[in-house]
Amino acid sequence: MVNSGIIGKGKWGSVLYNKLLHLSKIRFVCNSRDNYQLNLKKAEWVFVSTPDSTHYKIVSNCLKAKKKVFCEKPLTTSYNNSKKLFRLAKRFNTKLYVSDVENFKNKKITLNKGLNVVIRKKKGKGTHKELLYKLLYHDLYLLFNLLKRHKIVKIEKIKNDKYLSFMIKYRKFSIKFIYDVKAKNAYHRINNINFLTFKKDPLYKMLKSVLENKVNFKKNNEASLFSNLMIDKIKSKII
């Protein structure tokens, strides 16, 4: 089994730990304040689940140590910083994967002609900026294949006290994003496809595929950068 290490002892770090117990030999668990660099030599893969603001420095140090890195989304909260990390992974000839767990639910999304409405409503806490990374980031990598070749015409905010809402207009279609931050029950739908129902554990499936090198790292990296860049553009228009 692959030797792994986890940086991040919070709620999500615990979730990763429980999954990785069955997939790898966990050699260390620490947090961002510990001297984690002393432990890096023990592991082939390092899983980063610390606060977003710490990702850049931690992932950078791991890549420089030539470790393979799995990072919770977002990789960073800046397109430019994320791009630097992917370049660093290439420079040190190692791998970097950003969580895209929703892709492992195997739901098929299509864009029909005319107006396409993409809706995601989910209970959430935090500022609108924070919610863009907590919620919107998932939807963007899910839509990556459909949107990557289309040029944005306009981004406009939809005023609503209850929702964080905005519209992205393309030449032949528009996409509406609606985030209900006050909803009592979490729910996630894109074109009426329910992403809260699935047969197999998508997190376990993703982690197993990453460790077994059965994922498309290039596509994952491109989708991650796409999501970062889109959020940068959206922030400038609606925040």
Query: Which pTM was predicted?
Result: 0.94
Q: Domain for residue 221, yes or no? A: no
Q: Domain for residue 131, yes or no? A: yes
pLDDT at 159: 83
Domain that holds residue 181: 103-200
CA 153 to chain centre: 25
Q: Domain for residue 174, yes or no? A: yes
Residues 91 and 31 in one domain: yes
The two structure tokens encoding residue 219: 């596509």
Q: Domain for residue 156, yes or no? A: yes
Percentage with pLDDT > 70 across the chain: 96
pLDDT, tens digit, for every residue of 20-57? 999 999 999 999 888 899 999 999 999 999 999 999 99
Is it the case that residue 104 has pLDDT exceeding 90?
Answer: yes
pLDDT, tens digit, for every residue of 177-210? 988 877 777 788 888 888 988 889 999 999 999 9
Q: Which residue has the higher pLDDT, 99 or 172?
A: 99
Residues 120 and 81 in one domain: no
Residues 116 and 92 in one domain: no
Last residue of a domain, one of 67, 99, 131: 99
pLDDT, tens digit, for every residue of 10-19? 999 999 999 9
Q: Domain for residue 152, yes or no? A: yes
Q: Domain for residue 231, yes or no? A: no
Residues 131 and 186 in one domain: yes
Name the band, by pLDDT with cuts 50, 70 and 90, for residue 124. Answer: low
Residues 68 and 115 in one domain: no
Taking residues 66-90, what's their average pLDDT?
A: 97
Name the band, by pLDDT with cuts 50, 70 and 90, for residue 148. Answer: very high
Look up the CATH number of the domain holding residue 48.
3.40.50.720
Q: Domain for residue 215, yes or no? A: no
Query: How many domains does the chain contain in total?
Result: 2
Please give the backbone phi and psi of residue 64, each rounded to the nearest 5 degrees, phi first: -65, -25
Last residue of a domain, one of 73, 99, 125: 99
